[in-house]
Amino acid sequence: MAEPLKDMYHEPFMREFAAKVHRVYPAFDEAAFVSATMDSTWEGLTLKERIRKIAVALGSYLPSRYGDALHVLYAIDEVCVGFPYLFFPDFVEVHGQADEHWEQSMTALERFTSKSSAEFAVRAFLLREPEKMMRRMEEWAEHPNEHVRRLASEGCRPRLPWGQSLPMFKRDPAPILPVLEKLKADPSLYVRKSVANNLNDIAKDHPQLVLETAKIWSGKHEYTDWIIRHGCRNLVRKADPDALSLFGYSQLDETEGKLFVSASISAAPNVLHIGESCELTYELVMREGDPLRIRIEYAVDFVKSNGQTSRKLFLLSDKTVNGGVRLRANRMHRFADLSTRRHYPGEHRIALTVNGVEAAHTIVVVKESLSTRRTY
């Protein structure tokens, strides 16, 4: 099993980082900084808690004046690039929220986001002064650097994973739309993915707003069409009639009835242990008549630690097929623990869906991992 992501902050990493700081700021006490950071609480901290611990400790050992401390970090940020250095923008969030530090903090977030990402740190400023911060986000949306443009979108997502929730934008996402409008045909796929994810977040609370936006944007540019398709993906999965219509998917109606004549899905083996795989086989016979635009997915109702289930959808096929065609295919599915999902023993229901409508299902019994079973 892969090591937890938080373990990237091991002692050699911390000592190497402290040495980088010391080279540009000789007053920096390397040993004291590492000791204060990796104290008796360190092992029990989560990834984000470790990031915060480092940012707080830096405040004690860098110059006391905020601007001077930033300039020490500026002196080494070219050699501190990548995910592990999220504590640079976190330093800004922790130490730079005073009114007199606003412009310095904005400059720092704009600079640090291209080295790691300021998408989490910027949210504290949004929560404090949303109108002022969104004006800055609109400026960033026109920045020549794609990382800064992405920050304009990613930072204001209402439901950013790992980030603080933005309840004001869940209630009313209108302030986000001018930013997305500026980015709706961005040449960077990195930025376009963020815009699509932002729309997908908004759609969870305001589906009609997203659909109205998608209809206005549709057909204007190939990049924009890609964004709205990905931004409406959950609405398509839920078989929202307007979303299906917008993207040309065939729908059920009283005249023509179901899209398929018969459907089945099976799993082999249907009893396995956590960490093992099964082969899913599905078969569909589509109704006769005109060609059909279909999205075929399988949904797994994963058993959670409390015995309840949580559904996750996996795409099998998205295409146009002739009426009356028989479709048959296989897919391997592995019940292995991931950083984003842990598996638990129990009956897992697996459903085959066509344009969001369940067509067939099967049951897979997942047992405790062989490697964790007790031996006597």
pLDDT of residue 239: 83
Average confidence (pLDDT) over 143-161? 97
Beta strand 277-286 with 309-321 is unpaired
74 contacts 39 by C-beta, under 8 angstroms: no
Does CATH number 2.60.40.10 belong to domain 260-367? yes
pLDDT at 135 over 70: yes
pLDDT exceeding 90 applies to what percent of the chain?
89
Q: Quote the CA–CA distance of 132 and 308 in Å, as a whole number.
A: 42
Residue intervals of the chain classified under CATH 1.25.40.290 are 5-246
Q: What is the pLDDT of residues 305-348, one digit of tens each?
A: 999 999 999 999 999 999 999 999 999 999 999 877 899 999 99
Through-space distance between the first and last CA atoms of the chain, rounded to whole angstroms: 24
Q: Quote the CA–CA distance of 238 and 304 in Å, as a whole number.
A: 22
Residue intervals of the chain classified under CATH 2.60.40.10 are 260-367
**What pTM was estimated for this model as a whole?**
0.84
pLDDT at 88 over 70: yes
Characterize 348-358 residue by residue with b for buried, 16 or more Cβ atoms within 10 angstroms of its Cβ, and e for exposed: bbbbbbbbbee
pLDDT of residue 375: 45
Write down the CATH number for the domain with range 5-246.
1.25.40.290
Q: What is the pLDDT of residues 237-265, one digit of tens each?
A: 888 989 999 999 987 665 556 899 999 99
Cα dihedral 84→89→94→99 (10° resolution): 180
pLDDT at 173 over 50: yes
Average confidence (pLDDT) over 361-368? 97
3-state secondary structure of 326: strand
